[in-house]
Structure 1
Amino acid sequence: MMEQYLTIKQTCEDALLFFRLGDFYELFLEDAICVSELLDLTLTGRGTGEQRMPMCGVPYHAADTYISRLVTLGYKVAICEQVEDPKEAKGLVRREIIRLITPGTAHDYLRQENYRPLIATFGVVHEEDWTGAIADALTGNIWTRTGDFESLCNWFDRMQVAEVIGDPHRYPNFVQPLREYAQRAGIVYSQLPRYEEEGPAVADETGAQILLRYLEYTSKRTLCHMKAPESMSDHRFMELSASTVRHLEVIRPVTEGRKGATLLEAIDYTSNAMGRRRLREMLEHPLQDIQLIVERQERIVALLADAVAHADVRAFLKQMHDLIRIISRLSFGQATPRDLWQLAESLRVVQLLREQLQRESLRASFATISKRMYECAGLIEQIETLLSEEVKTGNQEGQIIRPGADPEIDHLRDIVTQGRSYIMALEQSERIRTGIKSLKIGYNRVFGYYIEITSANLHLVPQDYERKQTLANGERYVTKELRERELAIAEAGEKLRQQEAVRIAELIDRAQKMLHLLQQTADAVADLDAIVGLATAAKENHYVRPIVDDSSELRIIGGRHPVVERHTRDGFIENDTQLSCDQHQIALITGPNMGGKSTYMRQVALIVLMAQIGSFVPANAAHIGIVDKLFTRIGASDDVSAGLSTFMVEMTETAEILRGATDRSLLVFDEIGRGTATYDGMSIAEAIVEYVHDHTRARSLFSTHYHELTELPARLPRVFNLSVAVKEHGDQIVFLHRVVNRPADRSYGIQVAQKAGLPTQVTVRAKQILGVLELSHKEANASLEQVAISFVDQTVDMSWREWIEEVADLPLEEWSPRQALHYLFELQERILKKGNEHGKNPRT
């Protein structure tokens, strides 16, 4: 047996091998030591002395819990089962690995709220572009995208991929970059094993084909639920960086375990798991296609206009089982009779949903969704005709098939039932015959049926009883009649199980042949539930329909933060926003910490994101010109594992934004430059504002504590000042959370420190130091100003003054860089010429 184990282990050296022995999965050697430590299991052993082999095990019926914990920790698990009947085996029972469970393929083991197993890889390269692919083993989705290596890694991060796959045989150059990415991202790297068919048919496999091959390798079967790859490289979707999704807490909170902190949670009013997954996909891929956005909006409008229809559709959606999960179980060969019953129940609800969508108020808006819902009446009838309702509570052997559905099964069931009735009657008759009132007939899987007699009654045992087993307080016996009856019951029971398995297999085969239609139906239900959920969110939270077009306008009247307002008892303070590429391009926002700058900027970004998934938005009115890329640089964080400081992370993310921004983008910068020295930080912040103004023309929100930057609107015409208002009461301040059209005069840092509970001695001393610094700064400025005036008065004659006045009056904001450079060369030439005429050196 250990030779068999070691041979199988060689085929999955990077996985923990769960080796089936009877009612347990056993692990040996290093696997046993590892799992016993990880799961706190008792480490036992086989053999004696130095040959003693480490061993631990888990019951096969409870293995899912243990496997889930191991996969969550990043381990792979190989399931090795007996693949032949022990009764028919000649020698050792044949065993094979029937499935390899990995973090990216454990769709039926990991069901945490925000976990979605995804695998990713790289495929064919065209010139400098790489091709990446991501697959979802649960839904069957495969997405592809082209780009450079870093952009694809960013995509993997944003989608929270759990595992990356390398193919060293087809793409050896990808192996090392993938390994490094997996190590940096803290996810699992796996390699696809070499296949025997090494011919040209798979020589240029795409990333999607590699992922499909890996899924079939790990599941040990051909999968029929995986969909055709969908390209994410076109301009249908808004581009979101991984840092943006993280900063805005779109899917997951920045602090793990914090409930109600994400946009997904705030707007999730879906009724079933399918809709919840679809809503997440919508948030991960906001649209740029105005037609699709308007189509979703019109559906929400139709639902809100008919409250009865809205409520009825939502009530039916709540009755749906997870069709997508059932379909994946059918494809992976894991479907049970209970899955089939739930499939029929769900398809019945689909019929009711289609009827609802035929209402006059909904028909036009939901026509395309309704057409994708297939009623599958024949499959429903076959399932309900064949299966007993007993399957709803689990697999009840011998009771799966409905009485009357199969004559042979009915006959076998009668034999088993009558046999069990006979046993009960026999027990009663034997008590009378022997005079032993405590006599009982029992059963276990090892010994079969037996008659149990206590020690006190052994003198009454008849001569035709054959001793079978000795107990501490009695004996177990068997009779010829009992053996014959047990054999008949066992044979009938085995045939019953086999016949039921045959009929269930026929039913599963029928469902698998309809998998494509079932998948379309499930996708349509998911779309419907997501839209109904958005309509419910709009109704419950008083959202409005935004205007979405291809202009550069970004105007929000009375905007609110969709997450924060749910946790605000006293009512959320509404604020307006006005941005455009032509006039109000960059809002420079100043004000104290805790005043609401970050909340305000985040709410603008989230409102844009919501608008471009087709949702209504938390505002009194909104006009959103399509955003192609949404970038945010918010919060302070480092990456110690990569050797990156807080400031380095800040600059890396800012560089990514400036490289990718276009005049259709929305940029959100929070306190750029605060991670370094004051003047360094201020210089960087000012240069970034200038760059965004002059080179990208992207609509931007830029918060800062550098009050010197509030002078930028004087020379950058599309920059304007905003601030968050506060009210002062002596040394105390009250945050009004109101955004106003003027710069803040100071940061109120010491007052905020007081509110935070800093010791009075510290804040008093801080005020003294601040007074000295401010006075020194004023004196220094005054001194510099006097020096400059004196220098001009003493050294500049009237001819130079004319040129100074000429330069001061230049309309530089109207000039192109080429015009300015041309004038500068001309001016230099004039200065040098005049100096030579007067015998003076202009440089001096």
Structure 2
Amino acid sequence: MLEQYLRFKDENPGCLLFFRMGDFYELFFEDAETVARAVQIALTSRNPNDENPIPMCGVPHHAVEPYLSQLLEKGYKIAICDQIEDPREAKGLVKRDVTRVLTPGTVVEDSNLKSKENNYLAAYFWNGDKAVGGIAWIDFSTGQWSGLYSRKEPELWQWLVKLNPSELLLPQGWQVPTQYNELSSQVTPVAAGAYFDLASSSNKISELQGTADLKPLDLSDKPELVRACGALLTYLEHTQKSELGHLGEFKPLNLGKSLLLDEVTERNLEIFRTLNGKTGKGTLWHVLDRTMTPMGGRLLEERLRRPWKDLSRIEQSQACIALLFERDRLRGDLRGALDSVYDLERLSTRVFLGRATPKDFIALRQSLRMLPRLRLLLVGEELEAAPGLEKLLRHWDDMEDLAALLESALVDSPPPVITDGGLFRKGYDARLDELIELNEHGEDRLKTLHEKELAAHAIPKLKLGFNKVFGYYFEVSKAFKGQVPDHFVRRQTLVNSERYITPELKELEDRILSASEERKSMEYALFQALRERLAAARSRFLFMADAVASLDYWQGLAEAARINEWCRPELHEGMEIEIEAGRHPVVEEAMGASNYIPGDLRMDETRRILLITGPNMAGKSTVLRQVAILTIMSQIGSFVPARRARLGLTDRVFSRVGASDNLAKGHSTFMVEMNETARILRQASKRSLVILDEIGRGTSTYDGLSLAWAVVEELSTRARGSIRTLFATHYHELTSLEGKIDGLRNLNIAVKEWKGDIVFLRKLVPGPADRSYGIEVAKLAGVPRPVVERAREILAKLEEKSQDSRSEGAVERASQTLLPGFGAPPIEIRGELTEHPIITQLTELDVDGMTPIQALMLLNQWKEMIKG
């Protein structure tokens, strides 16, 4: 047996081998030690008295799922080795085989999945010679898969970070780039030749999708994406040991149809996770998610990752949400019915793969019961104003045939294991009914036979008995053995009695004793047949899963809009943004609606760049995020938190907010800031919305001011000056740019001084802030009083010394010397630069070997040379 175990272990390197032995899954050697430590179960030994005992641990087969879930969550891969023949019929060692390999990216059981989140397995391939690559990803639990083809390598990695796959397949020897090292823990290296072969990948995709070539899938001119898809299919073949027919149609991702949100923007706007990495409260997802089903929750996730850019699709979604928003009773009834609908997508996947439990079938039955109710709720409504709901109703499938089948087949509380019997109702199968009757009421039939013999032959004291040697028998006193009929066959003679059997008694005995096993065997066969019939209807299940998801998505957003008093935004093809009494939905949830002060904002041709100043804690960052979040919400079809909103469609939202570093990547706070700023400046287009918060704060004052100034200039000229930008800053010097840069306007977050303290009014008003109020904010934050007073003294002295520099025109004069393009033209240097001795010294200078004082002395020397 151990030789068999070690062979399977060698065939599945890197996996914990769960080895079926009777009613237990056992593990040995290092695997036993690992699992015992990871899931806190007892570590024993196969031969404790030997000099070198073999470590061993195990769990009951019927209770293995919780342990598997814990191990998968910790990142382990698990090979399940089952008995593939009946031990009672085995000659010698029971035949076993690895029936599947569990990995974090291929699980389908609910215990290993988050119901409202996709669980992706991804693959990446980059062709360095052609500078082109592709990524493909699949949610094996639902069968949905897609991919992205790009000539921009960073774009592929950015999408992988957004998707956050549970597993990422890379060719052996390839590494994740340093700036995306959060993906490193999910990497599974695979052999490039076996997994990413182009010819093999093309054949597997065509065969699976039923196409003669790759043209219908838009893959014929994307060989790198084909390789990534092939790696996924090969990996699934090796791990699942089953057909992959449940996979849906492959659809490459078209970035041109969606509002793009890169992983930085998702993080900065806290759409799915807060800045500290937590999910739930504090995220936009948490505010919006009022869905009742897992399918609706996953659809909301998909829409938030890829909002629409098509106005007609947005307005169709708005119309459905508006109708449900207005009809509270209908929405409430829908929510009640949807609450009883389980995960049709994942349930049908488990049915197709042969991994569904009796509990899954009961969940399917309960879900199908609700489909007619959902339809009837919509039938009674006037839906002309919501074409999306009308279309949904026209194509609705109650699936009544399958609901009736499940209703007639299964008992309400089936056992957890399909081989235990007790699954089916009486009346489902005549032969099974007979076995159930024998199994449950065999004693009554024996009594009936006993009474029949007594009545027919009038034998006094005819008894019915049983023992393990002879089975059931009739016992007759020797005084009456002459009255025994001919069909009684003597089996045993006792001192005072004789024991007999009859052909009918023997037949009944055989049937009763075998009925239990026959029933279990027959119920298992009937369950398999039922599973096959439901598996054949997978396309219907998926269609209705999509329909229920859409309905749930619309009602969920309508419910959120009603609870939070949101309005239906007007979207248009222009560039204007008008928001009246707008609120940040996440901040409002945290503060309470009564404590949140709404604000107005307008952007148009004359207000393309809004420069926002004001003290810390006044709410500049909130205003910036609010505009971006309202834009995203509107383009998923949702209502928005405002009294009125009119928003021009956006193709991409960029954000640079907050201060953070990534020391693991070797990046300081300032380096992260500059990386994100560089991405925005290189990628922003005409219809983009850019929000920037405190650019340049991570370096010295003049460096930071110069960078912030230059960034504003660049944004004012890119895409012919049409990029809509909100720029929050503490550099008050930048406010002088109003009037110098076309389309730039100053705004500030109003504050009021009151008896030495400041009061935040939380209102956005025209004009620049008069000062920073940094010391007042420090006081509010609880900085000790002596420190606050000393800071005021220092500030007074600094302001006194810089009185002259604060005279009228000082900022403009500074800009003429510090920032090119504002004031006098740059000094023209005549002649050949290489002839000047300073240039010669500069080219030969060992900067890394100089100390700061040496650098200052050299600069002073050069200054004297220039004077001379």
Query: What TM-score do the two structures reach when normalised by structure 2?
Result: 0.80
Instruction: Note if 1:619 corresponds to 2:642.
Output: yes
1:326: how far off?
Answer: 0.8
- Cα deviation, 1:622-671, whole Å, max 9, x if unaligned, reads 11111111111111221122111111111111111111111111111111
1:534: how far off?
Answer: 0.9
1:659 is matched with 682
1:195: how far off?
Answer: 6.0
Q: What is the letter of the counterpart of residue 154 of structure 2?
A: E
1:534 is matched with 557
Task: Describe how 1:520-599 pairs up with structure 2 within 5 A.
Answer: 520-569=543-592, 570-580=594-604, 582-599=605-622
2:452 is matched with none
- Cα deviation, 1:115-138, whole Å, max 9, x if unaligned, reads 532111135859433121121122
2:862 is matched with none
Task: Describe how 1:695-774 pairs up with structure 2 within 5 A.
Answer: 695-696=718-719, 697-774=722-799
The partner residue of 1:166 within 147, 166, 170 is 170
1:683 is matched with 706
Runs of 5+ unmatched residues, structure 2 = 203-222, 449-465, 472-491, 493-500, 832-866
Task: Describe how 1:806-821 pairs up with structure 2 within 5 A.
Answer: none
**In 2, distance between residues paired with 1:540 and 1:784?**
52
Residue 640 and residue 30 in structure 1: after superposition, are their counterparts in 2 closer, same or farther (change >3 A)?
farther
1:356: how far off?
Answer: 2.9
The partner residue of 2:123 within 121, 124, 128 is 121
Q: Secondary structure at the match of 1:624?
A: strand
- Cα deviation, 1:76-125, whole Å, max 9, x if unaligned, reads 12222111111112211122222222121224232346753211113585
**In 2, distance between residues paired with 1:248 and 1:542?**
22
Residue 382 and residue 826 in structure 1: after superposition, are their counterparts in 2 closer, same or farther (change >3 A)?
same
Residue 46 and residue 345 in structure 1: after superposition, are their counterparts in 2 closer, same or farther (change >3 A)?
closer
Residue 774 and residue 484 in structure 1: after superposition, are their counterparts in 2 closer, same or farther (change >3 A)?
farther
Residue 613 and residue 14 in structure 1: after superposition, are their counterparts in 2 closer, same or farther (change >3 A)?
same
Matched-pair contact (CA < 8 Å) for 1:133–1:144: yes
Residue 21 and residue 340 in structure 1: after superposition, are their counterparts in 2 closer, same or farther (change >3 A)?
same
**In 2, distance between residues paired with 1:319 and 1:232?**
33
Residue 296 and residue 199 in structure 1: after superposition, are their counterparts in 2 closer, same or farther (change >3 A)?
closer
Residue 355 and residue 739 in structure 1: after superposition, are their counterparts in 2 closer, same or farther (change >3 A)?
same
**In 1, distance between residues paired with 2:398 and 2:809?**
83
Instruction: Note if 1:97 corresponds to 2:122.
Output: no
Instruction: Note if 1:130 corresponds to 2:153.
Output: no
Q: Secondary structure at the match of 1:313?
A: helix
Matched-pair contact (CA < 8 Å) for 1:556–1:578: yes
Q: What is the letter of the counterpart of residue 53 of structure 1?
A: I
Q: What is the letter of the counterpart of residue 796 of structure 2?
A: G
**In 2, distance between residues paired with 1:694 and 1:737?**
31
1:238 is matched with 259
Residue 367 and residue 225 in structure 1: after superposition, are their counterparts in 2 closer, same or farther (change >3 A)?
farther
Residue 338 and residue 43 in structure 1: after superposition, are their counterparts in 2 closer, same or farther (change >3 A)?
closer
1:412 is matched with 435
Instruction: Note if 1:52 corresponds to 2:76.
Output: no
Q: What is the letter of the counterpart of residue 155 of structure 1?
A: W
**In 2, distance between residues paired with 1:317 and 1:627?**
33
1:409: how far off?
Answer: 0.8
2:496 is matched with none
2:239 is matched with 218
**In 2, distance between residues paired with 1:241 and 1:223?**
32
**Bigger mean CA deviation after superposition, 506-515 or 29-38:** 29-38
- Cα deviation, 1:583-622, whole Å, max 9, x if unaligned, reads 2111111111111111111111110000000001101111
1:398: how far off?
Answer: 3.2
1:344: how far off?
Answer: 3.0
1:647 is matched with 670
Matched-pair contact (CA < 8 Å) for 2:201–2:229: no
Matched-pair contact (CA < 8 Å) for 1:638–1:649: yes
Q: What is the letter of the counterpart of residue 22 of structure 2?
A: G
Q: What is the letter of the counterpart of residue 163 of structure 1?
A: E
Residue 750 and residue 97 in structure 1: after superposition, are their counterparts in 2 closer, same or farther (change >3 A)?
same
1:275 is matched with 296
**In 2, distance between residues paired with 1:239 and 1:494?**
60
Instruction: Note if 1:39 corresponds to 2:62.
Output: no
Task: Describe how 1:475-486 pairs up with structure 2 within 5 A.
Answer: none
1:542: how far off?
Answer: 1.3
Q: Secondary structure at the match of 2:158?
A: helix
Residue 531 and residue 49 in structure 1: after superposition, are their counterparts in 2 closer, same or farther (change >3 A)?
same
Residue 686 and residue 90 in structure 1: after superposition, are their counterparts in 2 closer, same or farther (change >3 A)?
same
1:779: how far off?
Answer: 4.0
Instruction: Note if 1:369 corresponds to 2:392.
Output: yes
1:225: how far off?
Answer: 2.5
**In 2, distance between residues paired with 1:400 and 1:692?**
68
**In 2, distance between residues paired with 1:561 and 1:490?**
71
**In 2, distance between residues paired with 1:702 and 1:113?**
39
1:369: how far off?
Answer: 2.2
1:140 is matched with 143
The partner residue of 1:322 within 337, 343, 362 is 343
**In 2, distance between residues paired with 1:242 and 1:372?**
37
- Cα deviation, 1:188-234, whole Å, max 9, x if unaligned, reads 22245676998944366443343233234322211333211222234
1:339: how far off?
Answer: 2.2
Q: Secondary structure at the match of 2:802?
A: helix
Residue 6 and residue 393 in structure 1: after superposition, are their counterparts in 2 closer, same or farther (change >3 A)?
closer
1:354: how far off?
Answer: 2.4
The partner residue of 1:110 within 89, 112, 122 is 112
1:36: how far off?
Answer: 2.5
Q: Secondary structure at the match of 1:116?
A: coil
Residue 31 and residue 766 in structure 1: after superposition, are their counterparts in 2 closer, same or farther (change >3 A)?
same
Runs of 5+ unmatched residues, structure 1 = 169-174, 426-440, 444-448, 450-463, 465-479, 790-803, 805-811, 814-819, 830-842
The partner residue of 2:185 within 184, 187, 193 is 187
**In 1, distance between residues paired with 2:196 and 2:511?**
50
**In 2, distance between residues paired with 1:579 and 1:424?**
91
- Cα deviation, 1:450-507, whole Å, max 9, x if unaligned, reads xxxxxxxxxxxxxx9xxxxxxxxxxxxxxx9999999865532221111111111111
Query: What TM-score do the two structures reach when normalised by structure 1?
Result: 0.82
**Bigger mean CA deviation after superposition, 284-293 or 356-365:** 356-365
The partner residue of 2:516 within 474, 477, 493 is 493
**Bigger mean CA deviation after superposition, 204-213 or 61-70:** 204-213
1:252 is matched with 273
Residue 584 and residue 163 in structure 1: after superposition, are their counterparts in 2 closer, same or farther (change >3 A)?
same
Task: Describe how 1:437-516 pairs up with structure 2 within 5 A.
Answer: 491-516=514-539
**In 2, distance between residues paired with 1:38 and 1:486?**
50
Q: Please provide the CA RMSD for this pair.
A: 3.7
Q: What is the letter of the counterpart of residue 164 of structure 1?
A: L
Q: What is the letter of the counterpart of residue 31 of structure 1?
A: D
Residue 671 and residue 487 in structure 1: after superposition, are their counterparts in 2 closer, same or farther (change >3 A)?
farther
Task: Describe how 1:277-426 pairs up with structure 2 within 5 A.
Answer: 277-362=298-383, 364-391=387-414, 397-419=420-442
